[in-house]
Amino acid sequence: QKEVEQDPGPLSVPEGAIVSLNCTYSNSAFQYFMWYRQYSRKGPELLMYTYSSGNKEDGRFTAQVDKSSKYISLFIRDSQPSDSATYLCAMNSDTGFQKLVFGTGTRLLVSP
Amino acid sequence: DAGVTQSPTHLIKTRGQQVTLRCSPKSGHDTVSWYQQALGQGPQFIFQYYEEEERQRGNFPDRFSGHQFPNYSSELNVNALLLGDSALYLCASSFDRGGETQYFGPGTRLLVL
């Protein structure tokens, strides 16, 4: 079993839709949770960074962490064609020092 | 403020050869991590360098080695290349004091023929 599970998609939605992306994990030591966006043949770009449980909002993006269920989510409101990319969840037990453990990534396609 | 930079952007090698990839961290960062991303997969941790020493290592063979220089830049070396080493190699930098996560460079795409 992988430490982090993520549905690879693709997830296809029309422009303006609310998108929900999710990851589950098995290691209860994880404390820091990140979402990265990766365009084709580019490096991952940090979108959201959350410590422990709770919600964090930044513009059209909301990250949720439920440590009791070992489940994290990223919501994208008013999705745009420019949001079409692969979204990677990542987590570790200590920021900076420890390795990041990634999910497989979910490919999102937003059609005009 | 320059972000993480990597060179070269693309590289083609043949089996058995050796390759060196380079990374300059984001300004103010002192820790460099290397990841391998196969097509359709998430990045896999190779190792992390801090204070010019390898601090943590993932599940990669000794063919993968690295170095960090006094200016915090880093190199990844892969010896005896295999077809399966074809991947996007990503460098990420961070600040050891904590409070920040890892920021990635654009990657080096390696093709082994």
Q: What is the pLDDT of residues A44-61, one digit of tens each?
A: 999 999 988 889 999 999
Contacts of A8 in chain B (CB under 8 A): 40
Q: Please name the amino acid found at residue A37.
A: R
- Residue-level pLDDT at B97: 64
List chain A residues with CB under 8 Å of B55. 97
A17 or A1: which carries more pLDDT confidence? A17
How many Cβ pairs within 8 Å bridge chains A and B?
A: 76
pLDDT > 90: percent of chain A: 78
Helix ranges (DSSP H) in B64-108: none
Ranges in chain B, pLDDT < 70 = 1, 97-100
For A90-107, what is each residue's pLDDT tens digit?
A: 998 865 567 899 999 999
A97·B96 Cβ contact <8 A: yes
Burial class (CB in 10 A: 0-12, 13-18, 19+), B76: buried
Which residues of chain A have a CB within 8 Å of the CB of B92?
Answer: 100
B60 lies within 8 A of chain A by CB: no
Contacts of A86 in chain B (CB under 8 A): none
The pLDDT tens digits of the residues spanning A78-91 come to 999 999 999 999 99
CB B91 within 8 A of CB B5: no
Q: Check if the beta carbon of residue B54 is closer than 8 Å to that of residue B45.
A: no
How far, in Å, CA of A17 to CA of A77, rounded?
7
Nearest to A34 among B6, B56, B101 (CB): B101
Using an 8 Å Cβ cutoff, are B87 and B110 in contact? yes
List residues of chain A with CB under 8 Å from any CB of chain B. Answer: 4, 6, 8, 32, 34, 36, 41-46, 49, 88, 90, 94-105
